[in-house]
Structure 1
Amino acid sequence: MSMSIAPSASASVRDSSDNRTLVEAGDGVRDDQPRTLSREEKDPWLVEFDDQDAYNPKTWSRSSRWYLTSLGGLLVLNATFASSAPSEIVTMIGQDLGFGMEVGSLIIAVFVAGYCVGPIVWGPVSERVGRRPILIISFLFYTGFQVGCALSPNTGSLIVFRLLGGLFASAPLTVSGAIVSDLWDAKTRGKAMTMFSVAPFAGPALGPTVSGWIAQSGTDWRWIFWVLTLFAGVCLALIVLTLKETYAPILLTRKAHRLRKETGDSRYYSPLQADKQTFSHRVKKVLGTPFEMLAKEPILQALTVYMSFVYGCVYLLFEAYPIVFTEGHGLNPGVSGLMFLPIFIGGVLGCFIYLIFFNPRYVRYVDHYAPNPVPPEKRLESTLIAAPLLAISFFAFGWLSYSWISYWAPMMMGGLLGFSILLIFFTLFNYIVDTYLFAAASALSANTIVRSIFGAVFPLFARQMFQAMNPRWACTLLGCFAALMIPIPFILIRYGPKLRSRSRFAPDLPMGVPEKAPQEEVYHELSQPLRLHGARLVATRRTAVTGARFASTSAAEAPETLSWPDYLSIRKKKRKWEMAMTVPCVLAGLVGGASYFGSLEMDPTKPIFGVDPMIFFGGATFASMGLGYLIGPIAGSQLWRTTHRRTMSLIEARDRQFHAHIVKNRVDPTSQSATNPVPDFYGEKIGSLKDYRQWLRDQARYKRKARWTEDE
């Protein structure tokens, strides 16, 4: 029988590489106590998962787990779609029911305000009764309240039904994320969570599109709520028919019941049945601990402010977009609703960028640090790029919103907004989970409550702000706030470990790279290999220590150096950073150039510098792309240098040595010909020792061919 578990309110949070729940790693730990990793002795009657246990959701087939992950994403898509669906049809509703735009903003705000209930009620209750019953009950009522909205005879009833709908729609926002953590371990959870994270941004982007075309077609406004009813009904049917229970303590309770029935021995029990906490203690834990953490944890405070601001801006756009596109550019509600799609597309692009560039890096970190957990700061790498892009996208969206500039320009900036928002949300969400582990449920509860408040409040003043300040200065204000928050991920990378060491809620886990073998009693190396963003610094300092059988001795210290394989690996990754930044810079150049030159008045009959105006402006646009192509590597290099500040002296030392090797061994370019071009004169393609050997062979081959030509 496996080792004992003591469940807690955060039992749904999992992060391990050996298929264990986080609670198993710290038995008896509660959110309101300092974290330790003590284990109790084995209890033969306590039921736990066996190897490849059919009850363990992490051992289910990948197809089954991916289906349940997709279903959870669909439920979140449903809830977030409903939050923004009426945004393009508020005017029609106001004309029918007789209210102004200020009251119309409440239709979105009260629904988002209902999200505050999710972490307080649905999350904790799902950890007592399971995920499936909560989703069935919540979607049953949620579907009914959509019917109530469709049949509302007045403003008051519509707002009340929207609020009640938001209260029950908050269940999938909380429980679906828990389902993902139930199904996947730390190594694969990043990929699943990345795919899952697209849903919260797809819903708000698709809602205005649907309602915009309903308004444009002249269909009665009540049909948007009938669409929501049909969507919710389909999801309810999928939950009832296909959703399996995934919460481990509930599954272990079922396993314990089966064992008692098969053996006739009533002593078998599950961790959930062993939890004897009183109701008052649970209430205090659920309601008190999140706010206690928010008051005492500077990491959580900083991340909550940042994520809440970003979340509020997402819902602020539902008031801003009609002002920019419908009133400013004269687009009809249907086409204006389509302007939200780039936000979704940008989010999908951010998802792929994470899966291609950042998730493989984290998987390597998991293997590298095993059996210890990966430092949470490794999660923040993509935020270092996304945080500046968020501020840039606000500035660009605002100052490209002039009516005489093509609407394509601000629309494309919406894609950059979606790209940066998804990366920020996803990485900071995972950083909170990795930082607080056992207390992550409470930390996420506090974060979600504050975020929901921001999401409900921002739309209430958005229209007044954009009308009073105009879109340019309103977006400049938002961009300045976003710029003020850029240092947050950089500060956390620098000071995060120190802040976590002082926290009462962050677990005291070993964060260093494990040694490959136990050290001898007499001598042991004090300098373990240090790693920074995948590059190993070769430790050369060795100190002798006093042994039980030998006298004290010491060894001379040698300076720290960087091994050639690791240096070349770093150099290769630097080129990837430069390439990654080149793509958005080229796109920005294209969009900016097309927007600017496309907005200029021109006479097709008058050449510009002797060139046809269309050709001239087209060439200028491509020149803007070329400028972006030149700026991209520079920007990527600077960002890369920021993430390698601690090792720059070692890297620069190797740079000088590497350059000397290249200058010494490269060929004379004056001997090149059409059949014998110079092979990689600057050694830019060298990313490993194998590449360097191949480069040397290419130089030798070039010299031989050049010599044969001279002999002839």
Structure 2
Amino acid sequence: MNHNNNEDLEKQLPDYDTTTSTSPTILSDSGVVNQELSWKQDDPENPHNWSKKYRWLFTLVVSSLVISSAFGSSIVSGDRTGVMNEFHVSSTVSALQVSLMVCGFGVGPILWSPLSETVGRKPVYIFALGIYIIFNIPCALAKNIGTLLVCRFLAGFFASVSLTLAGGTISDLFPTHERGAAIAYFAAAPYSGPVIGPIVGGWVSVGTHSWRWIYWVNMIFAFVMWVVICFLPETYSPVLLQRRQGNDSLIENLKKNFDIQMILIRPFKLLITEPALLLMSLYVSIIYALLYGFFGSYPIIFGDIFGMNSGFVGLMFIGVIIGVIFALLLAPYWEKRYKNSQQTPEERLPAMMFCAPLIPISLFIFGWTSHAHWVGPAIAGIPFGLGMVMVYYAANNYIIDCSTTYAASALAAKTVVRSGGGAAFPLFIGPMYSNLGTQWASTVLAFISLVILPIPFAFHKWGPSIRARTAAKEAAEEQKFEKF
């Protein structure tokens, strides 16, 4: 894999020249377009030159969009029995409300990223999030379980636009040397939303005694975010330049280079040919799956064992939120450490190596204190939240740094694998904890996280040689890419 030591973690996204009028060659997010673009120095229409305060406000908004979508996937776990009782289905079928929406998260990115490069970020946000809002209505009014589950998958498909485009939007706003802090804080959003969901959903269920109101509340949150994004400007530079120059050929060229077959195939091909991508995606997938597994295990431990209602069960996720906050406080340290290093991809991994052991530690605490006092498993969420975000942050950066040319396709592949894990775990966590008991079920999960623990250490030691062996293959792919 090719690597430029001077490039930062956002290599997968287009970077526009803000210091000269020279026309650099730009690689689109989807990896399908080579287009000559340029901004004049200090051009006020260049998003990089917008005020720092406004760009950070924009970052807050798109991060909130991600939280909103991820929140929607887990809020239904705040009432695990309502759907079971009304439609007379098992807990596993009820858990499909979470799993199918997360499946939609895995499918949507394949479409939304290249589409945003054809028409711009804003129209795609407005269209997809608008449809997502609408699909909450049949969920809330569903008369049978089939309608509910189909609409949940479609809701996830359209809600995934936030997870897909938010990183690109932030890249549109910040030049490479300024993006580190923005991306570091944004990295927590995909994991904060799922944790907040059960807290809100639990109290909505307690207050209204209806699982349907959970969907109405989710729709209101999504609608508020949709209104906010409607008032924000476009950030994608090719579209901005086309509008200013009145030159339709730019967008026409983007459309001509929109090769859907290549977009669909490349992420999966990279998974097969790139060991770093495959193993890091597997690692992130397992951590993501463990988080979604908590939506099944928390009600068992805090609800069934300690007798808490849905509202208080949701509050137990505050421990995970505290861990996420600690991760946000640590991220600038690791970012500074990386910038002071040789800036090889492997220099991204010490953060992961340092924090990854917290995952199995937290699971052992979670399981083996589950019958003593509720404080034990509640506190276990703190090291889990810290380890989870730092693992994601480091693994994401490592994938990007290793995959300079096809980083967006690599990230799409990672998203598909990650969503698969998040969708699968809620389906068997409940039966697993019921059959094995809380201690041994948690121990099994802890050992799974121990098995994958050597991955970052191995790549830290042998990563350069692995990348050297695959460099020739990527060079051949680049030559093939230039033909499109």
> What is the TM-score when the length of structure 1 is the normalising length?
0.62
> Is 2:295 aligned against 1:318?
yes
Task: Report the Cα offset of residue 322 of structure 1.
Answer: 0.7
> Is 2:312 aligned against 1:335?
yes
Say if 1:465 and 1:474, in contact at 8 Å, map to a contact too: yes
> Is 2:261 aligned against 1:284?
yes
Equivalent of 1:250, from 239, 260, 282?
A: 239
Task: Report the Cα offset of residue 214 of structure 1.
Answer: 2.4
Of 144-153 and 314-323, the range deviating more from structure 2: 144-153
Separation (CA, whole Å) in 2 of partners of 1:19 and 1:429: 28
Distance 1:348 1:318, change over 3 A: same
Distance 1:50 1:507, change over 3 A: farther
Find the counterpart in structure 1 of residue 218 from structure 2. Answer: 228
Q: Deviation per CA, 1:19-43, whole angstroms, max 9, x where unpaired?
A: 79xx9467799969xxxxxx99xxx
Give, as a single letter, the amino acid of the residue that structure 2 aligns with 1:461. Answer: F
Secondary structure of 2:381's match? helix
> Is 2:358 aligned against 1:358?
no
Compute the RMSD of aligned alpha carbons: 2.7
Q: Deviation per CA, 1:356-393, whole angstroms, max 9, x where unpaired?
A: x212223434xxx6xxxx31222112111111111211
Q: Deviation per CA, 1:283-307, whole angstroms, max 9, x where unpaired?
A: 1220111111111001101101111
Higher radius of gyration, 1 or 2: 1
Equivalent of 1:396, from 338, 346, 365?
A: 365
Say if 1:435 and 1:506, in contact at 8 Å, map to a contact too: no
Give, as a single letter, the amino acid of the residue that structure 1 aligns with 2:327. Answer: G
Say if 1:256 and 1:269, in contact at 8 Å, map to a contact too: no
Distance 1:99 1:26, change over 3 A: closer
Say if 1:122 and 1:174, in contact at 8 Å, map to a contact too: yes
Give, as a single letter, the amino acid of the residue that structure 2 aligns with 1:255. Answer: R
Secondary structure of 2:340's match? helix
Task: Report the Cα offset of residue 276 of structure 1.
Answer: 7.5
Identity within the alignment, %: 35
Q: Deviation per CA, 1:550-587, whole angstroms, max 9, x where unpaired?
A: xxxxxxxxxxxxxxxxxxxxxxxxxxxxxxxxxxxxxx
Aligned pairs for 1:151-190 within 5 A: 151-190=141-180
Find the counterpart in structure 1 of residue 81 from structure 2. Answer: 91
Separation (CA, whole Å) in 1 of partners of 2:290 and 2:148: 25
> Is 2:375 aligned against 1:430?
no
Equivalent of 2:53, from 37, 43, 63?
A: 63
Distance 1:421 1:227, change over 3 A: same
Say if 1:342 and 1:411, in contact at 8 Å, map to a contact too: yes
Task: Report the Cα offset of residue 110 of structure 1.
Answer: 0.8
Say if 1:201 and 1:344, in contact at 8 Å, map to a contact too: no
Equivalent of 1:197, from 157, 181, 187?
A: 187
Separation (CA, whole Å) in 1 of partners of 2:399 and 2:19: 20
Give, as a single letter, the amino acid of the residue that structure 1 aligns with 2:244. Answer: K
Task: Report the Cα offset of residue 483 of structure 1.
Answer: 1.1
Separation (CA, whole Å) in 2 of partners of 1:12 and 1:144: 32
Secondary structure of 2:470's match? coil
Equivalent of 1:473, from 436, 440, 455?
A: 440
Distance 1:433 1:185, change over 3 A: farther
Find the counterpart in structure 2 of residue 126 from structure 1. Answer: 116
Give, as a single letter, the amino acid of the residue that structure 2 aligns with 1:359. Answer: E
Find the counterpart in structure 2 of residue 515 from structure 1. Answer: none
Find the counterpart in structure 2 of residue 345 from structure 1. Answer: 322
Q: Deviation per CA, 1:383-442, whole angstroms, max 9, x where unpaired?
A: 11111111211112111112xx12111111111101100000011111111211221110
Separation (CA, whole Å) in 1 of partners of 2:270 and 2:426: 28
Say if 1:13 and 1:438, in contact at 8 Å, map to a contact too: no
Separation (CA, whole Å) in 2 of partners of 1:29 and 1:140: 23
Distance 1:29 1:255, change over 3 A: same
> What is the TM-score when the length of structure 2 is the normalising length?
0.89
Secondary structure of 1:288's match? helix
Separation (CA, whole Å) in 2 of partners of 1:217 and 1:125: 41
Distance 1:470 1:29, change over 3 A: closer
Say if 2:112 and 2:164, in contact at 8 Å, map to a contact too: yes
Structure 1 unaligned segments of length 5 or more: list them.
Answer: 1-9, 33-38, 41-45, 261-267, 509-712
